[in-house]
C-alpha cells in the first residue's frame, strides 16, 4: 500500500459555540492542512495520483474556507467550526472530487497551531 500526503493552508475566522473560554470570541487561525490518500496501484508513470492533481482538488475545497467567517458557512450553521468539524468538512468535500480509480482518501489533518491538530478519517 502506498500513502501519499500533501500539505496546504488557509486562513479564516471563527468562534466556538457552547465553549467557555477565549475561543468563544471571534478569532482567527492560519490553518495548516494535511491530506493523505492511499492506493495499491501505480500508473504507467509510477504514480498513485499526481501530487499536482491532489493539490488542485484540495485547494478547490480550501478556497471555500479561505478568508471566510466559518460560522456563516452553511456546513457550520449551528455547529461549532472546531478543527474537528473543519477536518470532517474538508474530508467529505474532497472525497467527492477525488475520482482517480483505486485512490482512497485516508485522512485530513487540520492544524490550528504548531502543536494542536485534529484528524478525520472514514473508519
Q: Which domains does the chain have, with CATH numbers?
A: 2-121 (3.30.479.10)
Grid coordinates of 57: 482538488
* β strands within the chain, DSSP E: 2-14, 27-39, 104-113, 116-121
pLDDT band at 123 (very low <50, low <70, confident <90, very high): confident
- pLDDT tens digit sequence for 45-96: 999 999 999 999 999 999 999 999 999 999 999 999 999 999 999 999 999 9
Q: Cα angle at 123 between 62 and 19, to 5 degrees?
A: 60
- Residue 58 φ/ψ, nearest 5 degrees: -65, -45
Report the pLDDT value the prediction gives residue 16, as an integer from 0 to 100. Answer: 95
| Enclosing H/E stretch for 61 | helix 51-62
Region 26-40: mean pLDDT is 97
Q: Rounding to the nearest 10 degrees, give the CA dihedral for residues 24, 17, 70, 27.
A: 0
At which residue does the C-alpha cell 492511499 appear? 38
pTM: 0.95
- Give the residue from 51, 67, 123, 52 showing the smallest Cα distance to 91: 123
- pLDDT tens digit sequence for 84-116: 999 999 999 999 999 999 999 999 999 999 999
pLDDT band at 2 (very low <50, low <70, confident <90, very high): very high
Report the pLDDT value the prediction gives residue 51, as an integer from 0 to 100. Answer: 97
Alpha carbons 101 and 96: distance in angstroms, whole number: 13
Amino acid at each position: 500500500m502506498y500513502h501519499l500526503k500533501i500539505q496546504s493552508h488557509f486562513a479564516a475566522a471563527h468562534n466556538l459555540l457552547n465553549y467557555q473560554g477565549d475561543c468563544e470570541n471571534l478569532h482567527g487561525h492560519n490553518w495548516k492542512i494535511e491530506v493523505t490518500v492511499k492506493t495499491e496501484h501505480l500508473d504507467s508513470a509510477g504514480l498513485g495520483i499526481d501530487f499536482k492533481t491532489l493539490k488542485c482538488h484540495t485547494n478547490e475545497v480550501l478556497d471555500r474556507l479561505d478568508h471566510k467567517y466559518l460560522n456563516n458557512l452553511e456546513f457550520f450553521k449551528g455547529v461549532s467550526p472546531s478543527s474537528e468539524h473543519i477536518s470532517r468538512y474538508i474530508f467529505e468535500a474532497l472525497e467527492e472530487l477525488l475520482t482517480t480509480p483505486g485512490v482512497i482518501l485516508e485522512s485530513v489533518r487540520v492544524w490550528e497551531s504548531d502543536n494542536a491538530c485534529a484528524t478525520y478519517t472514514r473508519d
